[in-house]
Amino acid sequence: MEKPTLPKGTRDFGPAVMARRQFILDTIKGVFKKYGFQQLETPAMENLSTLTGKYGEEGDQLLFKVLNSGDYLKNADPEKLKSKDSKGLTFDISEKGLKYDLTVPFARYVVMNRHEVTFPFKRFQIQPVWRADRPQKGRYREFYQCDADVIGTDSLLCEAEIILMIKEVCKGLGIDDFSIKVNHRGILTGLAEIAEAKGNESSLFVAIDKLDKIGEDKVKEELSSKGFSTNSINRIFEILNFKGSNLEKIELLHSRLEQSEKGTKGVQDIKQIIELLSKFDLAGDSFELDIALARGLSYYTGAIFEVKINNVGIGSVSGGGRYDNLTGVFGLEGVSGVGFSFGVDRLYDAMEELNVFPEDTEESTKVLIAHFDEEAMRYGLATLKALRREGIAAEIYPDVSKLKKQLDYANKKKIPYVVVIGSDEMKSGDLTFKNMKTGEQQRLTLEEILIQF
């Protein structure tokens, strides 16, 4: 018999990893809920008509398509079959696909339920998505996304609260050293006007977004090759190279972009976000206004965010922004909002690298009851019952085995305390209570054990 394997790019999460992932997800979920977000779940499968055309041509290629049930070839075009036209045949034999992200299903949900949804709608969603990407280190074909969005309001309070939530999540995870970078699509548009980039905006944004990675010279080269004049490039870099506090940057942008309506709006928005954050005791530099931040997506129309953890070799762990038109692709115009998401896999890797997972994350059971024989095992059931009655996660080793085996079991499962029961214990009623971390053991009554927790 062949040894079973996992499909490429997919993973099992065994107990140890799962406990750590759950710690991350619970922390994020707790913060989302504290800020008034409500959970939504959508199915794994969506109609291909919902998914296709939303992620560009490359995205369409990366959708996992589900074969129709039954005699799926019945109505397939014989010509396509004969010519082995894989691309052409796909929609004849498949009408469903696995979801590629959480945004399109969210938009679909809002359109389908627009009369029931309470706006402003603060929703979060934590579910796996699937992409038929080439698997590689840190890139999987099934992975969790963790999104929160507020739709149906233009209030900049939402942007301010996203920054608060990012800070609270990082704090909850034990990540101290991180940077929140913020920019605004209006500021980028203003820069494009200064650079006389009309019709060439996205080349500009793509190039300057790489500033961090490839450096000033390379970006300038790229811009030059895309037809930007030396004058334009210099005007842009005068701004990009400006060093200063957020308020100083705002001042500079205010004067440089005063001719640009969108640029001015962008600067004002950022200023207001800072002002709102001050009401939560955050200083003006609680985030970094990063004029070069562009985040690819042309989808964003307002503030954009990106979070990096410092001193680890891992890309951004969170990002998002404001958009004007979530549901236009489904015929419902005017649904604007702002959202952000956390990358669970990257957070996991970063936390592992920083060694900040709390030690007890992997603890599931608090107490194991170990025993020397059948009689001691039965005697131990009363202890087990009493522990669980107090809400303490407890288990008894279910077989009569050598004590060493039972202690090994506790160690492997990271169970911090073991109660050992033998004939002495049964005679005296005092139980042996062993701390597995220190190795220390005491004789305690059941009552004395219970008050340890």
> Restricting to residues 67-126, which ones interact with its own copies according to CB under 8 A?
67, 69-74, 76, 78, 81-82, 84-86, 89-90, 93-96, 98, 108-109, 111-113, 116-118, 120, 122-123
Taking the least distance from each CB to its own copies, the nearer of 218 and 378 is: 378
Binding mask 408-437 for its own copies (x = CB under 8 A): -x--xx------------------------
- Distance, in Å, from the CA atom of 169 to the CA atom of 85, rounded to the nearest integer, reads 48
The alpha carbon dihedral of 318, 321, 326, 329 has a sign of: negative
Taking the least distance from each CB to its own copies, the nearer of 232 and 301 is: 301
Check binding of 1 to its own copies (CB under 8 A): yes
Binding mask 139-158 for its own copies (x = CB under 8 A): --xx-------x--xxx-xx
Judged by CB under 8 A, the stretch of 33-41, 186-194, 249-257, 439-447 that binds its own copies is: 33-41
Tell which residue, 253, 96, 113, 140, has the closest CA to residue 188: 253
188 with 256: CB under 8 angstroms? no
Among 139, 171, 218, 378, binds its own copies (CB under 8 A): 378
- Which residues, in sequence order, are bridge partners of residue 183? 304
- Distance, in Å, from the CA atom of 81 to the CA atom of 84, rounded to the nearest integer, reads 5
Among 244, 399, 402, 423, binds its own copies (CB under 8 A): 399
304 with 88: CB under 8 angstroms? no
Instruction: State in angstroms the smallest separation of the CB of 260 from its own copies.
Output: 26
DSSP for residue 125: E
Taking the least distance from each CB to its own copies, the nearer of 115 and 213 is: 115
Binding mask 280-319 for its own copies (x = CB under 8 A): xx--------------------------------------
Spell 80-101 as b/e; 16+ CB within 10 A means b: beeeeeeeebbebbbbbbbbbb
Instruction: State in angstroms the smallest separation of the CB of 170 from its own copies.
Output: 16
Helix (H, G, I), strand (E, B) or coil at 162: helix
Check binding of 66 to its own copies (CB under 8 A): yes
The size of the chain, in residues, is 453
Check binding of 7 to its own copies (CB under 8 A): yes
Binding positions for its own copies, 313-352, rule CB under 8 A? 330-331
Instruction: Give the count of residues interacting with its own copies (CB under 8 A).
Output: 107
- Distance, in Å, from the CA atom of 385 to the CA atom of 391, rounded to the nearest integer, reads 10
β-pairing, 178-184 vs 288-289, is: parallel
Check binding of 359 to its own copies (CB under 8 A): no
Tell which residue, 66, 28, 55, has the closest CA to residue 317: 28
